[in-house]
Amino acid sequence: MAQFTPSLPPDLAAEVTALRIPLVELTRHAQLMLRLHTENIELRAMIEKMQGEMKDNFDRVDRNIANANLRLRIHTDANVHVTQYHPMLRDPPILESPDNLKAWIHEMHGKLLVDGKVLFPSAELRFRYVYSRLHPEAQAFVTTQLEWAQVTGHWDYKDIFNILKCNYKTDECKCKAEAWARAKEDLKDFELE
């Protein structure tokens, strides 16, 4: 066994000598550490290269998505004229007089049957459309029903027709004033959000 002594600090040389670590073993450990250090550097380089490739791939995917969205928007914009719906019936006039109620209800009902599903896809939109076609005095009769619909989520535009018939005292009125008064009292128990 060869003794290991060259160019070590004296305290380390003493430890090496005291431990009697052979030179061959120390050389093997040094070579192993050097190899591990070299592999570590190579692995770091490979990881950096892979990260760069992944970034390039993500950038390419982002560009492809952006291009696809642009093509879709251009295609959609080009076909807008084809998909736009043109109403079949004109808007009913604003209900301003009880004398026009029957004709107005027929016109409104026809409008909602023919154009309603496309122009007003939800029950709430249909209800609000009918409400918007009322004179402010007629809207005052229906305000309670509007509040009730907001609380319960029951958006039936025919309720507006029934309230107007009742308030204008038509022959078709099937409701009683007491029932509406009770409904108004019940509404006070609910709070609008």
Contacts of 19 (CB under 8 A, 6+ apart): none
Instruction: Evaluate if residue 66 carries a pLDDT over 90.
Output: no
Instruction: Evaluate if residue 179 carries a pLDDT over 50.
Output: yes
What pLDDT does 187 receive? 65
Assess contact for 180 and 141: CB atoms under 8 A: no
Mean pLDDT over each residue of the chain, to the nearest integer: 78
Between the CA atoms of 177, 107, 118 and 150, what dihedral angle is there, to the nearest 10 degrees? -20
Q: Write out pLDDT tens, residues 158-168.
A: 999 988 888 88
Query: What is the share, in percent, of the chain residues with pLDDT greater than 90?
Result: 25
pLDDT band at 5 (very low <50, low <70, confident <90, very high): very low
What is the mean pLDDT of the segment spanning 36-41?
A: 91
DSSP 165-176: HHHTT-TT----
Identity of the residue numbered 72: L
Residue 34 CA neighbour count, 13 Å, CB half: 6
Q: Look-up: residue for tokens 């770091």?
A: 44
pLDDT band at 82 (very low <50, low <70, confident <90, very high): very low
